[in-house]
Structure 1
Amino acid sequence: MTDITTDITTDTATPTATTTSLDTSAWGGRHVHDPTAVRDDDGVYWLFSTDARSDGPVRGGVQVRRSADLVTWDFHGWALPGVPAPAADWSGAEGLWAPEVVQVATAGGPVWRMYYSASTFGSRRSAIGLAEAPHPAGPWTDRGIVVASEHVEPPAGLGHPNAIDANVVTEPDGSQWLVYGSFFSGIHVLPLDAATGLVADGFAPAAGELHAAPGRLLARRARAADGAVEGAFVLPRPGGGWALLVSYDSLGGSYHLRVSAGDAVAGPYRDRRGLLLTDVDADPWSVGVPVLSGHRLADGPGVLAPGHASVLSERVPAAVPEAGTHARQLLVHHVRDADAPTEHRLQLRRLVWTHDAWPLVAPQPWAGPGREVDDVSRWPADPAVLDGLWEQLTPGTDPTRVQDGVVGPLEARTAVRALGGGRFAWTAPDGAAVSAVVHPAWDAVRDRATLCLESLDDAGRVTLATRLP
């Protein structure tokens, strides 16, 4: 399939080069960066991602793909014909970054909203814009800039956060928040007007201006780490509260994912040990729970710099119709090829929750219908499943390298408890309390059904493991 932008857009924008000459027929999940996925009312999945390519010039407008199974993706085109003029004029962007797509209920019926970012690499002169459509396939109409930022650093304070990497959070009462920011002054949150999709009164910029109050600080990193935190995504925790997922470190190498938890969308957020995500005095590589980093499973490809994740949450039919539906959450993110770091592509992984409501992600990529088991009543309940050999990863131990899987038994365990739905708890040899989830999965390297384990102890140490034959 070649460029079919004219089939899915009706809007005016600043066009960029190479808008009609790209052969996208073999793209599939290649060239995906900073992805987000949604499902339409007909059960079709739509993926939106940054305007980025590993082998040529950028074409602007937000890349769009579609899939029936979340495994095989067809390139659909671009959401917009280029960078909308207000965002281009402000930022000088040639492409759009990190789109966030959500469906909202309005007085006129459901509407899809896309929050896109316009900037240039290393710049703080950036903007988050809004476009709307009746369907993920479009047509998308630009609604202008939501919030913008620029280079100027005030004499005191954090300054305005970089206006990119939008994430929209909707509370049970319908109120909405915009979580955003990248490097520089960290991650912030602003209230949105759910009716318009723009910043709420009291925080919105004055007429004729682009800037709004920066909002509340959620996460920041020390200068020793170059302030490297971005790509925030907030999701509700089972039983109440919220989890904040962020990407740390260098985009092309040590990029990796960490989580924290808080009682409110607007924070504060703390990691498993209680450290605030705004703590710039602690070791900047000790804050946050590392849940995924670069790795290589035995005889498999090296996965470099996994990050900038979103989460697809949905209810899926049970294998037995009378059992109703099951909740399923998938981490949607990009990775690079460890042997060719400029190559970036899409991956999805199952996201699970420990019994004490911490999110962890599977070491194996999502394999699709027929290979994955969503019915948690079929997940292991016998502690004996923890025995045997596992190929194990410890994300975040050293994000600067691609970690090799280590084969061996799980650590010694005492006081093991089975808590249902694949959840277990035990005490580690050093006395740490461990929470774990074990579930069916598909071993992508060995091409066979297997089990995966994700565990977290109260010192913040994570283990991801694949059961071996």
Structure 2
Amino acid sequence: MKIFVIVFFVVFALLLTSCSEDKIDLEPIVEQEKEEEVVSVEEYKAPTYADHYLDVASWADRADWNLANVHDPSVVFDGEYYYMYGTDASYGGAHLGRGHFLFRRSRDLVNWEFRGLAMAKTPGWVKDTLNSIRSGYGLEPIENPRFGHWAPVVRKVGDVYRLYYSIIIDNYIATGLPNTAENFDGSWTEHAFIGLMETKNLELNIWTDRGMVIRSVSDRGSNWSRSSPYDWSAYFKFNAIDPSFVETPEGEQWLIYGSWHSGIAAVEVDPATGKPYKLDAIDDFGVRIARRENNNANRWQALEGPEIIYNEETGYYYLFLAYDELSKAYNTRVARSQNITGPYYGINGANISNGADCWPMLTHPYQFKNHSGWVGFAHCGVFKNEETGDWFYTSQARLPDNTDGNPYSNAIMMGHVNKIRWTEDGWPVVLPQRYAAVPQDEITEEDLVGAWENITMEYRYQAMQKATDMSLASNKTASGAFSGSWSYDEEKKILTIGSTKLYVDRELDWEADPRVPTIVYSGLTATGRPIWGKKVD
């Protein structure tokens, strides 16, 4: 593990910390007008909001945020709007003192109205439960814990919306002092908690808090010591952050959670309460369904942000995972299983539950031409439009360091919503351009002829994957990034170059000036590396 990864993880935790008990702004800022239906590409108007949103980053400009200041998003549809909830994170801390868990809504997944924050103040049960645990170890209470509010997941369950949320405690166990280098006392930092709140009406933003669902759990008793702030041997077995939720076809309900430490856990919850049936023993905290390495010795694995869905068309559970540190190297992997508790397998048949490296990779730091590119592109939410059957991937992505001369540009976090296509053998691929409601006019062979930019991605830690040129000729030959013959299945919208199948759609060229509709493709190599392309001429 590189020192930079550890240092950035700690610094980012501090940046997200907030203990405010101020009330949140519950009033709508701008009532979003319903978009008129677009009937053709020629009539389409592209969104104009900027990727580098520095000019509107302040709280006073929040009406113009759109998808600015999004981190770890989760999306649910209430019948009229899509609602997106995320981690406490904003450029320059614009939201601090105004509550927790930023949220916004949209009718079209393109234009988003910022609505405020979902939680007015940290629930009292968090501090009470923390200090009860400390008392059991003979430790003094912490009067003013440093809280971090991270990574909610929102789901509709029956007629209720559940929002599972993460709250971390950034104080050392031994002394209770805040987590700083000066305060280091030779111990791990304190427990994290997953809580639950519910509502029947997302628009009103009135939630009933249901208390603790689960907490970090250790299998090391009172042995919470470590040799230095850079000893990441992890006191906790499972870290109670980054919840995801799924209901099985049989009606079972499961919480998937975990980050770094020793892997990702799945625990069954009572449908009546949304909480585990019991938490009496360490086995009650769940079964490990994914880890990064094949041995149990490594208790600090660069693996987090699980998202779980069930696709009834394929009959698989899909477990999406965020690999590596979040500022630059973040990349998305996916594994699948026919059983909720696994084992989960990758595209190469490797057992992810036993620690095999997970392929396919779906996102990675990348750069098309005429743009800075995006890094830190993972920790996703995945959701389905039940009317159209379309699936979507959403996460944050960050601008690289020093974009447009801004030394802090890597803290620019823009929410991305990308359409998912499914391969013929049942794997998801993420389209390379953000969803922009471009009309899906028919795509013919003639439309594909011309100049393209292609990115065939390998895994390269923190390194940008850059586009190269590719051309499709009318004589059915490809040149540049691909060579050989090509064919096109117009009904399935599958472009085949040699033996590589690429899934085609119309999307927006976000890098063009002005932004214009284009054609894009996404696919996988035989070993599960993503292939992204867009037509540029």
Question: Into which bin does the TM-score normalised by the smaller protein fall?
Answer: 0.7 to 0.9
Aligned residue in 2 for 1:451: 519
Aligned residue in 2 for 1:367: 436
What's the CA shift string for 1:208-237, capped at 9, x where partnerless? x9x772322121113889501111112224
Which structure 1 residue ranges, 5 or more long, are not aligned?
1-13, 317-325, 429-433
- Whether contact under 8 Å (2:360, 2:527) holds in the other structure is no
Describe the SS at the equivalent of 2:336: strand
Aligned residue in 2 for 1:336: 398
Aligned residue in 1 for 2:463: 401
* Structure 1 CA distance for aligned equivalents of residues 127 and 367 of structure 2: 40
* Structure 1 CA distance for aligned equivalents of residues 237 and 300 of structure 2: 17
Equivalent residues, number: 420
Aligned residue in 2 for 1:188: 265
* Structure 1 CA distance for aligned equivalents of residues 448 and 347 of structure 2: 23
Q: How does 1:259-338 map to 2 (within 5 A)?
A: 259-280=334-355, 286-316=357-387, 326-338=388-400
Alpha carbons of structure 1 residues 127 and 225: separation in structure 2 relative to 1, 3 Å: closer
Question: Which has a greater percent of strand?
Answer: 1
Describe the SS at the equivalent of 1:278: helix
Aligned residue in 2 for 1:83: 122
Alpha carbons of structure 1 residues 93 and 179: separation in structure 2 relative to 1, 3 Å: farther
Aligned residue in 2 for 1:139: 206
Aligned residue in 1 for 2:182: none
The worse-fitting range, judged by mean Cα deviation, of 356-365 and 117-126 is: 117-126
- Whether contact under 8 Å (1:379, 1:422) holds in the other structure is no
Q: Within the alignment, does 1:175 sit opposite 2:252 as a pair?
A: yes
- Whether contact under 8 Å (2:234, 2:261) holds in the other structure is no
Describe the SS at the equivalent of 1:315: coil
- Indicate which of 310, 324, 328 corresponds to 1:249: 324
Which structure 2 residue ranges, 5 or more long, are not aligned?
1-17, 26-58, 131-144, 171-187, 224-232, 404-408, 472-480
Letter in 2 for 1:400: Q
* Structure 2 CA distance for aligned equivalents of residues 408 and 427 of structure 1: 14
Aligned residue in 1 for 2:178: none
* Structure 2 CA distance for aligned equivalents of residues 332 and 418 of structure 1: 28
Question: Which has a greater percent of helix?
Answer: 2
The worse-fitting range, judged by mean Cα deviation, of 241-250 and 156-165 is: 156-165
- Whether contact under 8 Å (1:83, 1:95) holds in the other structure is no
Alpha carbons of structure 1 residues 54 and 162: separation in structure 2 relative to 1, 3 Å: same
- Indicate which of 286, 292, 309 corresponds to 1:235: 309
Alpha carbons of structure 1 residues 385 and 135: separation in structure 2 relative to 1, 3 Å: same
Alpha carbons of structure 1 residues 18 and 29: separation in structure 2 relative to 1, 3 Å: farther
* Structure 2 CA distance for aligned equivalents of residues 64 and 278 of structure 1: 33
* Structure 2 CA distance for aligned equivalents of residues 337 and 163 of structure 1: 29
Aligned residue in 1 for 2:88: 51
- Whether contact under 8 Å (1:33, 1:333) holds in the other structure is yes
Alpha carbons of structure 1 residues 152 and 438: separation in structure 2 relative to 1, 3 Å: same
Q: Within the alignment, does 1:111 sit opposite 2:185 as a pair?
A: no
- Indicate which of 137, 147, 157 corresponds to 1:94: 147
* Structure 1 CA distance for aligned equivalents of residues 339 and 469 of structure 2: 40
Aligned residue in 2 for 1:16: 20
**Could you tell me how far 1:421 is from its partner in structure 2?**
2.5
Describe the SS at the equivalent of 1:131: strand
Letter in 2 for 1:173: E
Aligned residue in 2 for 1:29: 67
Alpha carbons of structure 1 residues 118 and 468: separation in structure 2 relative to 1, 3 Å: same
Aligned residue in 1 for 2:33: none
Letter in 1 for 2:395: H
Describe the SS at the equivalent of 1:101: strand
Letter in 2 for 1:86: W
- Whether contact under 8 Å (1:125, 1:151) holds in the other structure is no
Describe the SS at the equivalent of 1:98: strand
What's the CA shift string for 1:16-58, capped at 9, x where partnerless? 16657953444332221111111112x1121111111220273
* Structure 2 CA distance for aligned equivalents of residues 124 and 420 of structure 1: 55
What's the CA shift string for 1:409-431, capped at 9, x where partnerless? 45235696738421355654xxx
- Whether contact under 8 Å (1:314, 1:329) holds in the other structure is yes
Work out which of the two has the higher radius of gyration on C-alpha atoms and give 1 or 2: 2
Describe the SS at the equivalent of 2:125: helix
**Could you tell me how far 1:287 is from its partner in structure 2?**
3.0
* Structure 1 CA distance for aligned equivalents of residues 66 and 348 of structure 2: 40
- Whether contact under 8 Å (1:332, 1:348) holds in the other structure is yes
Aligned residue in 1 for 2:176: none
Alpha carbons of structure 1 residues 367 and 407: separation in structure 2 relative to 1, 3 Å: same
Q: How does 1:377-456 map to 2 (within 5 A)?
A: 380=443, 382=445, 388-409=450-471, 411-412=482-483, 418=489, 420-423=491-494, 427-428=498-499, 434-446=500-512, 447-456=515-524
**Could you tell me how far 1:342 is from its partner in structure 2?**
1.5
- Whether contact under 8 Å (2:334, 2:358) holds in the other structure is no
Describe the SS at the equivalent of 1:341: helix
Aligned residue in 1 for 2:36: none
* Structure 2 CA distance for aligned equivalents of residues 97 and 18 of structure 1: 18
* Structure 2 CA distance for aligned equivalents of residues 302 and 462 of structure 1: 16
What's the CA shift string for 1:98-142, capped at 9, x where partnerless? 11111111xxxx111110011146956111111010112331010
Aligned residue in 1 for 2:287: 216
Letter in 2 for 1:29: L
Alpha carbons of structure 1 residues 128 and 402: separation in structure 2 relative to 1, 3 Å: same
* Structure 2 CA distance for aligned equivalents of residues 389 and 224 of structure 1: 47
- Whether contact under 8 Å (1:16, 1:94) holds in the other structure is no
Alpha carbons of structure 1 residues 290 and 396: separation in structure 2 relative to 1, 3 Å: farther
* Structure 2 CA distance for aligned equivalents of residues 405 and 411 of structure 1: 12
* Structure 1 CA distance for aligned equivalents of residues 362 and 109 of structure 2: 22
* Structure 2 CA distance for aligned equivalents of residues 399 and 436 of structure 1: 25
Q: Could you state the TM-score of these two structures normalised by the residue count of structure 2? A: 0.71
Aligned residue in 2 for 1:38: 76
